[in-house]
Amino acid sequence: MRAGMSYFHETIWKGVPKFLRRVDTALKNIGINERIPYNAPLIQFSSWMGGDRDGNPRVTPEVTRDVCLLARMMAANLYYSQIEDLMFELSMWRCSDELRVRADELHRSSKRDAKHYIEFWKQVPPNEPYRVILGDVRDKLYQTRERSRHLLANGISDIPEEATFTNVEQFLEPLELCYRSLCACGDQPIADGSLLDFLRQVSTFGLSLVRLDIRQESDRHTDVMDAITKHLEIGSFREWSEERRQEWLLSELSGKRPLFGPDLPKTEEIADVLDTFHVLAELPADCFGAYIISMATAASDVLAVELLQRECHVKQPLRVVPLFEKLADLDAAPAAVARLFSIDWYRNRINGKQEVMIGYSDSGKDAGRLSAAWQLYKAQEELINVAKQYGVKLTMFHGRGGTVGRGGGPTHLAILSQPPDTIHGSLRVTVQGEVIEQSFGEEHLCFRTLQRFTAATLEHGMHPPVSPKPEWRALMDKIAVIATEEYRSIVFQEPRFVEYFRLVTPELEYGRMNIGSRPSKRKPSGGIESLRAIPWIFAWTQTRFHLPVWLGFGAAFKYALQKDIKNLHMLREMYKEWPFFRVTIDLVEMVFAKGDPGIAALYDKLLVSEDLWSFGERLRTNYEETKDLLLQIAGHKDLLEDNPYLKQRLRLRDSYITTLNVLQAYTLKRIRDPNYHVNLRPHISKDYQESSKSAAELVKLNPTSEYAPGLEDTLILTMKGVAAGMQNTG
């Protein structure tokens, strides 16, 4: 959380008003003299850090509470550090009557407490009305910050809530008053300076800096409901049909009586879910964004969360967002959402707006990249049609990863390849931890990221991409089935695959290291299906084989070309004219340009038992065939011939990454086989060796490691180095 928040502190806080000024200038250049209203923020930020408990035992209700308070404290501190600059600037005495009356009232009632402030620590004279009003704002910001700090440290604060800002309207009101007064007195250029930037920051970041989204798995809500129905002795919620569940949930939502009391028998897991809802009830409503249900499958998943919010007295219930991830869930999503919209109680609750999240990572892991991309495309089209039927404005929330295997890719292309009508000027996208630095690490990167999202969203609305022709759809439907069959036959049905994967990649070692933000598996005992999408992709990236990205494409295209030679012409036409298909192929081609089956063969030779070598060989043959077919469809002789700039960058990086790969392969061999010795040429001069400490002491970097000296550090450095070198978003 602290690491993530540092991006707001360092770049995003100042980056947003700068970017909005740039948009104002762009509008002016085309003859529109209106500014973007400060109270209609173009871009808003939410965060999952400390709210995403999906299988992560470290995100507890206490952590969620602390994260919210820390963010509020940081927001108040950032405003507080800027308010004195505004007080310096607004020294004028000429103001509107409305402002003068307010300033006089404040001046009479204010008691100056001198100890907090470096500047303006004496009482501001009444002939500086703007400073009087901003001085009051400053006092309240100070109290807001201190109250959050006390609550964070001790759980209680002696500063009363009414001495602080409790909602953003209270905070905006005196600032808007100053803005109106300046404009009325002919000082608009001053109003449109730092005061406008400040107003825009308040509208974008509010009092909570970022709204925290809560994410929990649907199964955990089912457990709670099951415990309640058993306690009430009306049966087992888990065993009921979907119709029965919906009927019971709706009757409870329409009723008034409480559902359970303090005597409900709770396991640790159930207490954790309910305590999370109590935190939502306890903290100010503007701390939170959406409640996201991962692995959602049906309407009852959403209604269960609505009921739990009511039962735990959440004053302003969070909007509930189902997340559809696996292929079958994406297929069933439109029907589940249609069922929700057909319920009168639910339609009244959402007020014409709904958000649906679609998951790229787990769908890709479940069925392969080609089928997942196509299923996501179709699900979005159908969801938009359902929303239109019921007159609901639907916002799609794209759960993209950083890497191509997890739905990542250049922002501009990714947005432009979405189906027509699915964006409508608004969308939500995740910026994953592994790429946040590339998007927001420096001020100019932050500016470019905001620019890309805005430009692509506008372009998608003004020049919607073409809809695919019926024959293109028919062909995609056929080849997607073949791609899924091929992918699943190897990943889930090949008996030796799991063993091969564990041996050839650093997956097991990765799971033991403190690199990720959560455990690498949802269920510690499970196989590939329980492995999280990040380590699944990360492990294959390390060996430069990228199997989850391309597996299935080869079989699909081979089938299409053997079925009918005319299909080659149609696939090439799709590549030229249909942005979705082109982006999908280009991204896989880019991944092939970063791959290296020769490196993968080295990992095979060193780490895999001999009886599995033939399996590795088979996969590498498949890799080469897929690459050739891909080039044929794109009409390219060579990988990345359309992108010489990226090709050159990859060529420059290659020798460094290859060195790291070789180091990593031999390090893994030594970790797994302590008797294996690599004969290294001495690289430290004899004089140095004799005069200094022993070599064993030199490599004792990580004294807590369970491995031989230096091996874990080498492994972490090579892992991070290879990941950075791959820059998998392109």
pLDDT per residue as tens digits for the range 554-571: 999 999 999 998 999 999
Separation CA 139–CA 162 (nearest Å): 12
Convert the pLDDT of each residue in 540-558 to its tens digit. 999 999 999 999 999 999 9
Convert the pLDDT of each residue in 520-530 to its tens digit. 555 555 556 65
Q: What angle do CA 45, 49, 52 make, to 5 degrees?
A: 110
Count CB-CB contacts under 10 A for residue 174. Answer: 18
Q: What angle do CA 389, 392, 398 make, to 5 degrees?
A: 110
Separation CA 74–CA 80 (nearest Å): 10
Convert the pLDDT of each residue in 389-426 to its tens digit. 999 999 999 987 666 556 667 778 888 888 988 888 88
Residue 236 reports pLDDT greater than 50: yes
Separation CA 451–CA 458 (nearest Å): 11
Three-class SS of residue 354? strand
Query: Hey, which bits of 413-532 come out as E strands?
Result: 428-429
Q: What average pLDDT does the segment 24-41 reach?
A: 92
At residue 233, φ and ψ (nearest 5 deg) are 55, 45
Q: Which domains does the chain have, with CATH numbers?
A: 37-205 (1.20.1440.90), 213-462 (3.20.20), 470-677+694-726 (no CATH)
Residue 317 reports pLDDT greater than 90: yes
Q: Select which of 111, 115, 122, 365 is catalytic.
A: 365
At residue 211, φ and ψ (nearest 5 deg) are -80, 135
Given the DSSP bridges, would you call strands 46-47 and 211-217 parallel, antiparallel or unpaired? parallel
Separation CA 277–CA 111 (nearest Å): 40
Residue 443 reports pLDDT greater than 60: yes
Residue 720 reports pLDDT greater than 70: yes
Given the DSSP bridges, would you call strands 353-359 and 428-429 parallel, antiparallel or unpaired? unpaired
Three-class SS of residue 74? helix
Q: What average pLDDT does the segment 16-40 reach?
A: 93
Residue 61: which of 73, 70, 69, 50 has the closest Cα? 50
Residue 80 reports pLDDT greater than 80: yes
Residue 137 reports pLDDT greater than 60: yes
CA distances from 158 to 74, 150, 154, 659 (A): 20, 8, 11, 59
Does 305 or 366 have the greater pLDDT score? Answer: 305
Contact 599, 657 (CB under 8 A): no
Separation CA 231–CA 629 (nearest Å): 60
Contact 203, 41 (CB under 8 A): yes
Two structure tokens written together for 239 = 């065993």
CA distances from 701 to 161, 678, 705, 709 (A): 49, 20, 9, 7
Count CB-CB contacts under 10 A for residue 706. Answer: 9
Contact partners, residue 510, CB within 8 Å, separation at least 6: 516, 520, 535, 538, 539, 719
Contact 319, 365 (CB under 8 A): no
pLDDT class for 513, splitting at 50, 70, 90? low
Check residue 730 and give its pLDDT.
38
Residue 685 reports pLDDT greater than 70: no
Does 536 or 112 have the greater pLDDT score? Answer: 536
Q: What average pLDDT does the segment 601-624 reach?
A: 96
Two structure tokens written together for 278 = 């109590």
CA dihedral (445, 451, 454, 456) in degrees, to 10, reads -90
Does 513 or 500 have the greater pLDDT score? Answer: 500
First to last CA, the chain: 26
Contact 357, 322 (CB under 8 A): yes
The partner residues of 290 in beta bridges, in order of sequence, read 319
Count CB-CB contacts under 10 A for residue 264. Answer: 16
Average pLDDT, the chain: 89
Residue 195 reports pLDDT greater than 50: yes
Task: Establish whether 122 is a catalytic residue.
Answer: no
Residue 540: which of 574, 502, 566 has the closest Cα? 502
Burial (0-12, 13-18, 19+ Cβ within 10 Å), 651:
exposed
Count CB-CB contacts under 10 A for residue 286. Answer: 16
Q: What average pLDDT does the segment 109-119 reach?
A: 66
Contact partners, residue 623, CB within 8 Å, separation at least 6: 545, 550, 595, 597
Separation CA 411–CA 449 (nearest Å): 8
Check residue 526 and give its pLDDT.
55
pTM: 0.88
Burial (0-12, 13-18, 19+ Cβ within 10 Å), 420:
middle
Residue 516 reports pLDDT greater than 70: no
CA dihedral (311, 312, 315, 321) in degrees, to 10, reads -80
Largest CA distance in the chain: 89
Separation CA 542–CA 689 (nearest Å): 33
